Amino acid sequence: MKVAIIGATSGIAKEVAKIYAARGAALFLVARDGEKLDSVERDLRARGAQQVERYLADLSDLSLHDAIVSAAGSAVDVVLVAHGVLPEQSKVDNDAQAQVEAFELNATSVISLVARFATVMEAQRSGVIAVIGSVAGDRGRRSNYVYGSAKAAVHAYCDGLRSRLSAAGVSLVLIKPGWVDTPMTIRSKKNALYVHPEAIARGIEKAIERRSATVYLPGYWRWISLLVRLLPARLVRF
C-alpha cells in the first residue's frame, strides 16, 4: 500500500503516518522543514514502513504542486492532505495581508493539491483522498473566522468533488476534527473536549478504510456542530 501525506510533520498527520508505517505501507511525505522531516522519517522507518520517500516543499508555493504530485508517482492508494496553519485571530484581525496568506495556505493550496491528485486517481480509477477540514469550518466564529472560512471553502469543494469522483471509484473522505491537542492549539487553554491526536488518527484510518464521506472526530462533534449551526446569528456573539 502506498500512502502520500501532505504536511507530514503536523500533529495529526504524524500519528496517521505511524499507523500506516506499522502496517508496512510505503510512505511519501511532504513537508517544509528538512530537520523535522528527518526525525519523522526515522521514526516511521523504525515502526516498520516498507519505504519512506520524502519531498521538501513550501506548500504555499502553488507552482511546486505539479512536481509534488508527479513525485508521489503512480498507484498512490491513499493521500492525506493535512497541512494548515491556525493564525492567532486577534493578531490578524486588522491585517488583511496575513488573513489572505492564511486563507491561501488553508484553502487555495489544499484545493490546488486535491485537484491534482483527483485527476491522477480518476485516471487510475482507484484511491482515497482524505482531507482534514475542521469543525471551525461549519460556522464562522469570532475567535477563528479566518481559519474557519478557509475550511468552509475546503468543505464545499470536497462535497462537490466527491460526487464527481464517485463515478471513477475514487473516494473523498472529509475529516472534521474537533479540538485536538497538537502544536496548532498550543496557545489554547485545554479543557475536557481536547483529545489526543492519536485518537483522531485512529478515527482517520477507520474513515479511510470505510470510505466514509464526512466524519466528525470524535463523533460527538457532529451534534455540537449541528447545535452551533442552528443558533440564530442575532444571538451569537462567540
- Write the CA distances from 204 to 19, 24, 55, 85, 216, integer angstroms: 10, 17, 23, 19, 10
Supply 52's cell numbers: 519512506
Q: Is the dihedral of CA 188, 60, 93, 216 positive or negative?
A: negative
Q: Note whether 159 and 137 are within 8 A (CB).
A: no
The residue (of 21 and 173) whose beta carbon lies closer to another protein is 21
Segment 61-120, which members bind another protein (CB under 8 A)? none
- Which amino acid would we find at residue 178? G
Query: Hunting for cell 463515478 — which residue is that?
Result: 167
- Tell me, residue by residue from 141 to 180, as one string, x for binding to another protein by CB under 8 A and - for no binding: ----------------------------------------
Q: Is the dihedral of CA 137, 207, 186, 18 positive or negative?
A: negative
Size of the site for another protein (CB under 8 A): 19
The residue (of 14 and 162) whose beta carbon lies closer to another protein is 14
Supply 24's cell numbers: 508496512
Binder to another protein among 55, 103, 145, 194 (CB under 8 A)?
A: 194
Contacts of 154 (CB under 8 A, 6+ apart): 106, 107, 110, 111, 131, 133, 137, 174
The residue (of 46 and 167) whose beta carbon lies closer to another protein is 46
DSSP H helical ranges for the chain: 11-22, 34-46, 65-72, 89-92, 96-103, 109-124, 145-166, 197-210, 221-230
181 binds another protein (CB under 8 A): yes
Binder to another protein among 23, 43, 104, 222 (CB under 8 A)?
A: 43
**3-state class (DSSP) for residue 72:** helix
The residue (of 84 and 197) whose beta carbon lies closer to another protein is 197
Binder to another protein among 24, 73, 169, 183 (CB under 8 A)?
A: 183
184 binds another protein (CB under 8 A): no
Binder to another protein among 31, 40, 72, 80 (CB under 8 A)?
A: 40
The residue (of 40 and 64) whose beta carbon lies closer to another protein is 40
Supply 210's cell numbers: 470505510
Binder to another protein among 23, 32, 47, 139 (CB under 8 A)?
A: 47
Look up residue 25 and give its DSSP letter: -
Q: Considering the complex, what minimum distance in angstroms separates the CB of residue 187 from another protein?
A: 10
42 binds another protein (CB under 8 A): yes
Chain contacts with another protein (rule: CB under 8 A): 11, 33, 35-36, 38-40, 42-43, 46-47, 181, 183, 186, 190, 194, 196-198
